[in-house]
Amino acid sequence: MPKNQTGGTVATPVSERVATPHSTGTPASARLLWLLGPALVAGVAYLDPGNVASNMTAGARYGYLLVWVVVAANVMAWLIQYLSAKLGIVTGKSLPEILGERIRHPLSRRLYWLQAELVAMATDLAEIIGGAVALYLLFDVPLLLGGIITGTISMIVLTVQTKRGPRTFERVIISLMLIITVGFTAGVFFAPPDAAGVVAGLVPHFEGPDSVLLAASILGATIMPHAIYAHSALARDRFPQFQGTLPTRRLLWATKWDVSIAMLIAGTVNLAILLLAASALQGVEGTDTLQGAYAALQTTLGPAVATIFAVGLLASGLASTSVGAYAGAEIMHGLLHVRIPLLLRRLVTLIPALVILGSGFDPTEALVLSQVVLSFGIPFALIPLVWVSAQRGLLGEFRNRWFTTAAGVLCAVLLVTLNIVLLVLTFAG
């Protein structure tokens, strides 16, 4: 992994340091494909088991009510992930590294790290539990053992990142993403959603405090704080692997395509999960758990669809937990200037998930609650991202334009407002 720049306030422009296999004989489309990858890896965070639990529960309980939340979340996610990637490309530093330099007071920096670390642990919790549930559904493996197996396989994937570099890591994660996409969208073709219901679900509205809780859960599962931290680091690490040079604008143009493709896939899959639950599972008893949803899919659509769904869930847990561990390591390094081996971190963050799996706590409820925790961590990642990406002294000519900053501020205001409404409705009830 290449070392980061540690110079003055303004980093060396990426056009002077980024490399690529660029040649005049190579078609432009091929060169573009060669630059894709970081957003697809970060996008796996938008397809983790927490997304499955939140969207499946929302569809089973409320039908098409929260379709608008899934759509709005993915639109906001596009902007957020692009800003994160742009920050890493232009500055050569990740968001945690930049904040680690700018938060001067040691206590403030540690407190900020603590909330970011809790968010990363909540992410890891959801992903390990999801993988364990998938192994239980597919092979009747006990949940605790399934959590250990999921954690072990994720260590192998992280070893690939450590030993073979970011490009090989991307290939592994993107391959798992393809499995996830097939696994979570196949059922929609067997149980097509009601078009009128989908259109009605695009109109923003709620039905009581529980629907607000699920909306916050969907947002936390879609706009994941650790993905904001990770994407800047993935973009930072990715491009210096090539030979030759490319201007920064070319890289940012390719990044827009990268983010667009990743968010299109994530948005489609998340929407498909909710629509499948709304069309095939609404009103069916027990579908508010992953195990119950799997059983209902077996009954209503057949064992083949249910098995494909479980395979997608397994791939989701394996891929997203690897990206989550990568993000957690970057958060610690950037804010505390401490770097521990990825595999050691994997072992440490595995413990909370195994405790919950061994305690008998409902895994689906743990998944949904973990996504709510993520939702409350969004402002702590999003507000600093919008702030630093708008500064001329840091990004120079590539700083945010006024309307981009305005859009970022609007996203942050909406997310913070939803969390406040969630608190009021929850405790008032």
- Give the DSSP letter string of 262-318: HHHHHHHHHHHHHHHIIIIITT-TTTTSHHHHHHHHHHHH-HHHHHHHHHHHHHHHH
Q: What is the pLDDT of residue 240?
A: 61
What residue ranges do the domains of the chain occupy?
Answer: 27-428
Q: What is the pLDDT of residue 323?
A: 86
> Nearest 10 degrees: CA dihedral of 300, 306, 312, 313?
90
CATH number of 27-428: 1.20.1740.10
Q: What is the pLDDT of residue 242?
A: 44
Question: What's the CA gap between 168 and 321, in Å, rounded?
Answer: 17
> pLDDT-based confidence at 32, cuts 50/70/90?
low
Residue range 339-359: mean pLDDT, rounded: 82
Q: What is the pLDDT of residue 245?
A: 57
Give the CA distances from residue 25 to residues 29, 31, 136, 242, in Å, rounded to whole numbers and listed in that order: 12, 10, 51, 17
Of 82, 18, 9, 102, the closest CA to residue 396 belongs to 9
345 neighbors 328 (Cβ within 8 angstroms)? yes
Tokens in use for 385? 């991202």
Q: What is the pLDDT of residue 3?
A: 46
Tokens in use for 312? 């997608």
* Packing angle of the helix pair 402-428, 67-91 (nearest 10 deg): 130
Q: What is the pLDDT of residue 148?
A: 93
Q: Judge if pTM exceeds 0.75.
A: yes
Of 156, 395, 387, 194, the closest CA to residue 277 belongs to 194
pLDDT tens per residue across span 373-427: 777 888 899 999 999 999 999 999 999 999 999 999 999 888 888 777 766 765 6
